Amino acid sequence: MPPRDKISQLPAEVRTEIDRLLIGRGFSGYEALEEQILEAHGIEVGKSTLHRYGQRLERRLSAIRASTEAAKAIADAAPDEADQRSAAVISLVQSDLFEALLDLQEASDEEVDTSERVKLLSRAARAIAQTGRASVSQKKWAAEIRREAATEAAEVATAAMASQGMSKEAIATIKRDILGIA
């Protein structure tokens, strides 16, 4: 694995400032930025390193921007009150994590160092726990949406049946059926 680039090894506040400057300059003016970093922080970072780092940052920002716009377009075109898209994404992530765990278990000791294997398993376990919590939260949310929809439907039906002169007992029975109450 190649060594990390010089910018990635800088303190977080310096990287944040470099990111801000790159974005503010429209990902150009690397020579001037190189001088500015040297003056402000006493750190020599070559313009080629800045350019490579800037390209990666610009790609990430473009990907985030595109994902955000796509998500907004999907949400506008196909509202998902019960959040079924999130359930599908969680399921995909869980499947991929499971496959990665299987691959890691099947890898020989020559392929993966034992200490690296432990680190990877720890990260995988954390990711699985997070997706599990997300899945539970999504299911609770979907159940709440279904309960609210059933309650609203029961109220509308109750009002309609009452206006048609239906008996209170019949209305109560139908309302229990709509709400799924035994």
Tell me if 161 is assigned to some domain. no
- Tens of pLDDT, residues 132-180: 888 888 888 878 888 888 888 888 888 888 888 888 888 888 888 877 7
User: Residues of 55-82 as b/e, b for ≥16 C-beta within 10 angstroms?
Assistant: eebeeeeeeeeeeeeeeeeeeeeeeeeb
Q: How confident is the model at residue 26 (pLDDT cuts 50, 70, 90)?
A: very high
Q: Cα(53)–Cα(15) distance, rounded to whole angstroms?
A: 10
Tell me if 2 is assigned to some domain. yes
Tell me if 86 is assigned to some domain. no
Whole-number pLDDT of residue 55: 92
The domain in which residue 56 lies consists of 1-79
* Sequence-separated (6 or more) residues with CB below 8 Å from residue 114: none
Q: Which of 94, 173, 170, 79 shows the shortest CA–CA distance to 132?
A: 94
Tell me if 87 is assigned to some domain. no
- Tens of pLDDT, residues 76-135: 676 666 567 777 777 778 788 888 777 777 776 677 787 887 887 788 888 888 888 888
Tell me if 53 is assigned to some domain. yes
Does the reported pTM lie above 0.75?
no
Tell me if 15 is assigned to some domain. yes
Q: Cα(48)–Cα(31) distance, rounded to whole angstroms?
A: 9
Tell me if 70 is assigned to some domain. yes
Tell me if 65 is assigned to some domain. yes
**Count of structural domains within the chain:** 1
